[in-house]
Amino acid sequence: MKKLGFGCGAILLVLVFVAVVAAIAGVRSYNGLVGLQQNVDAKWAQVQNVYQRRADLIPNLVQTVAGAANFEKSTLIAVTNARASVGRVQLDPSKAPTDAAQLEQFQAAQGQLSNALSRLLVVSERYPELRANQNFLGLQAQLEGTENRISVERGNFNEAVQSYNTAVRTFPTMLFARMMGFQTRPFFNAQPGAEKAPSVSFDFGNSPAATPAATP
């Protein structure tokens, strides 16, 4: 009888020990996941900040370029429409998206704006008055710096997501992640040329490739 009681007590102690170890592991896993998740959200906020910085530059850029004689209206309209399209994709600036389709939509809208801005800057090379406009040169320099920051912050975000997703999918943390509602986060998808920041610089030493035709 004593042996039976001793055996039950030993089993109980083992179970208690296992429960304590599991609880400690669960707390550590939870705290680790919270830290990684907060890092992802912080990096996302930085991505949103630099994209917003670019959007804030566009009205002044469009206004300055529109002052050039005979500037292509279709190019300005494309930039304006692309900026409006970006504004229609509403994402929480303080919390990274969990929906891959939503992030893809955001990325597509931002890519459309990038293409429209690239077209505008290429067309601007044909206008000597813009290349001599200090306001335009200042906006161009700010835009170039912003594009570089976008590339950097997107890379930082993807690195943070990779660390978080690895933790969520790694045993035994994955067991606690599922119970505590931690989900993997989507990445920014790589695009052709994404390893380089978009170039928006000008070669002011060369003559323009073309000049707008004089109106009669």
Please say if the pLDDT value at position 214 is more than 50: no
Give the integer Cα–Cα distance in Å for 171 and 169. Answer: 7
Give per-residue pLDDT as tens, 167-189: 999 888 888 787 888 989 999 98
- What are the two backbone dihedrals, phi and then psi, of residue 36, each rounded to the nearest 5 degrees? -65, -40
Find the mean pLDDT for residues 93-103: 91
The burial class, CB within 10 Å (0-12 / 13-18 / 19+), for 179 is exposed
Alpha-carbon distance values, 209 to 18, 125, 128, 213, 214 (Å): 76, 8, 11, 13, 16
Q: What pLDDT is attached to residue 14?
A: 62
Find the mean pLDDT for residues 8-17: 63
Give the integer Cα–Cα distance in Å for 172 and 27. Answer: 12
CB-facing half-sphere around the CA of 154: CA atoms within 13 A: 21
Does domain 21-179 fall into CATH 3.40.50.10680? no
Please report, for the chain, the start and end positions of each structural domain, with discontinuous segments joined by +. 21-179
Alpha-carbon distance values, 26 to 14, 15, 34, 39, 172 (Å): 18, 16, 12, 20, 9
Of 21-30, 41-50, 178-187, the one with minimum mean pLDDT is 21-30
Token pair in block for residue 2: 């004593």
